[in-house]
Structure 1
Amino acid sequence: MLLPRRAVLLSLAALGASACAGLGKAAAPGPAGPDEVVPLWPAGVPGGVPAGLTEHIVYRDNPFGLLDRAAHDVTAPSLSVFRPARPDGSAILIIPGGGYKWVVIDKEGFEGARHFSARGAVVYVLRYRLPHQGWAAGADAPLQDAQRAVRVIRSRAAADGADPARVLVMGFSAGGHLAGMLAARYREPVYDAVDAAEALPARPDAAALIYPVVTMTRPFAHEGSRLCLIGADPPPEQVAAHGVENRVHAGMPPVFLMHAQDDPAVPVDNTLLLHAALRTAGCETAMHLFETGGHGFGLRGIAGTPREVWPDLIAGWGREQGLFPAGAPD
């Protein structure tokens, strides 16, 4: 999908990080940002940064008049940390969408982080690398970042007031695909150990996939995600290998699924395929379908609609899984 022509492109190489931050404030003073930004790979990403990539932020129009940014050409994967006033011990790793073409920052990232941190969770928003941009790991570059993110979260859990055994990964759209791959492929060594955090498990304790991209098989594949992940003409074995539904196994954490049945971008069949595969494998799973809602709504425009309950549904499910304490607010 083409960005609106009025989007403001800020190049970090041309303007510098401080100038970018200043222009952002002048353009749209938004709500509070993260308490801390933690680099995932302090010594550099695995395999190094491909030549010609410069990470930059795009400001996008939206009908709600809200701050709406996307990170393009990510070269410095990171975790944006949102700390609650009263931690309840839970931790949430949010993986925003963007069709593997860019990474959404606000709509499926910081807005959800503020919502769930206000209810007691320490929330980490992942900015991950995009698979089509020449990384040594190819399609597994985002999975490297996701595995590393869970290990980094567990390595700092005590300092952040979180329990390392209560980590929920929550992925939206293409971020749901990455969260699903993380839940399925947590034990696969996709990068070499870099520090002591690698001794910690990459398996999340639960996964919530929100209108997720799941399959790479047509006719239900999201074409943009498929193209950016595995290319224009991938061999059949690669198509199968990158479908979450084909990687399901009995050792996966519990999975929460949510989708709108009228989603025009990522057909609801993605969620239905994964739910069926999880049930066949004997995995714990819950599924919630809304009749309407389209795609990519996040927390926007849901007030007064059936979709406004989705954060409460996750909160209730999370309490059943032992992620959130009994009596925690929805």
Structure 2
Amino acid sequence: MYGSGFRKLLCSLAGLVLSLAVPAAAQDSKMIAIETPAIAGEIPLGTGGVDGSQAGESWYREPDGNRFARNVVSATLTPVLPDPAKANGTAVIVAPGGAFMLLSMDNEGFKVARALADRGIAAFVLKYRLKPTAPSLAQFEKDVAARMSDVGSADSRLSPDEAIAGLGDQIADAKAAYALVRSRAAEWHVDPSRVGMIGFSAGAMTTMVTTLAAPEVNPAFIGPIYGSMEAVSVPADAPPMFAVIASDDPLFGHKGFGLLDAWQAAGKPVEFHMYEHGGHGFGLGRQGTTSPGWFDAFMLWLEVRGFLEPSA
């Protein structure tokens, strides 16, 4: 059903990202089942369901309190809006990561969205559809533990160009998110020409494949955060890109920078930040490393490009 690129993507992303999400799953339970929360302001995107799904959406948390969603079968978008007095007209769709098997809703979703809103940016957390996993959380944990043993053994040179064929649901969800934000731009104090997207890991892949496969969404900018660095076929109207990775990222570190080379070769604006330490899945930054600096660097980049000035 899916191409080889997408199978490689699931294998390597799942092994690494899930092991980071639950680092001791093989020894102790780190997943604590919680009720699926009622998220204030959450808006269904109406993009359909998930083929082969046998379970409804469920959530769990880790001991540190971060929450995760899995078996998402209906995509939603949740606005996290700035104080209207601070709103500058720029909007960012935020795509959490999780190997297309879960979504890191707090660490790579709502925490990031609130940080953006504090800077006057209208943020929108995209809960995109996921691949089906075991209905039982206990079985899911066992599957995670099995995946952990494969970390580092899979080919992690993942091509977004190849992955497009297996990510139709996610692309459709992202397209619907762009359309919704623009359709309610006046209500949310957003300039329709200043809507960008950032994503983390699998969310970075979602950001990238949407940009490649659906150029009609016309993002003002994109930000793949610790995503694939594999070369891509750059669209003629590709947006400015802000990319982030840690040099010790066990999935994407030490794999070259074909993505950056491709963007430069196409004459498109690109800014890149590589941090010495941070690993994978560091969200707004891992304490004790320089990786928390990426968010302020992103804000400065947006400021220099005029996106933090109030829109006319």
Task: Tell me the TM-score normalized by structure 2.
Answer: 0.74
Query: Which residue does the alignment assign to 1:161?
Result: 189
Conserved in 2, the CA contact under 8 Å of 1:177 and 1:214?
no
> How many Å separate the matches in 1 of 2:40 and 2:188?
11
> Paired residues, what number?
253
Task: Tell me the TM-score normalized by structure 1.
Answer: 0.71
Measured against aligned partners, the alpha-carbon deviations of 1:90-123 in whole angstroms (never above 9, x if no partner) come to 1111111101111110001111111110110110
Which of residues 279, 291, 299 in structure 1 aligns to 2:284? 299
- Residues 1:307 and 1:47: Cα distance change in structure 2 (over 3 Å): closer
> How many Å separate the matches in 1 of 2:265 and 2:36?
49
Higher relative contact order (CA 8 A, sep 6+): 2
In the alignment, structure 1 segments of 5+ residues that lack a partner are: 11-18, 23-33, 188-200, 216-244
> How many Å separate the matches in 2 of 1:143 and 1:149?
10
Query: Which residue does the alignment assign to 1:319?
Result: 303
Measured against aligned partners, the alpha-carbon deviations of 1:154-187 in whole angstroms (never above 9, x if no partner) come to 1111101111111120111111111111222223
Please report how far the alpha carbon of residue 301 of structure 1 lies from its aligned counterpart in structure 2 after TM superposition.
3.3
> How many Å separate the matches in 2 of 1:130 and 1:37?
17
Conserved in 1, the CA contact under 8 Å of 2:60 and 2:68?
yes
Greater than 6 Å deviation, 4+ residue runs: none
Query: Which residue does the alignment assign to 2:31?
Result: 7
In the alignment, structure 2 segments of 5+ residues that lack a partner are: 1-17, 134-164
> How many Å separate the matches in 2 of 1:248 and 1:268?
22
Conserved in 2, the CA contact under 8 Å of 1:88 and 1:325?
yes
Matches within 5 A, 1:212-227: 212-215=227-230
Query: Which residue does the alignment assign to 1:202?
Result: 217
Query: Which residue does the alignment assign to 1:38?
Result: 43
3-state DSSP class of the match of 2:194? strand
> How many Å separate the matches in 2 of 1:268 and 1:106?
28
State the one-letter code of the partner of 2:304: E
State the one-letter code of the partner of 2:41: E
- Residues 1:173 and 1:324: Cα distance change in structure 2 (over 3 Å): same
Measured against aligned partners, the alpha-carbon deviations of 1:135-165 in whole angstroms (never above 9, x if no partner) come to xx85311111011111111111110111111
Matches within 5 A, 1:61-72: 61=63, 65=64, 67-72=65-70
Which of residues 45, 54, 57 in structure 2 aligns to 1:55? 57
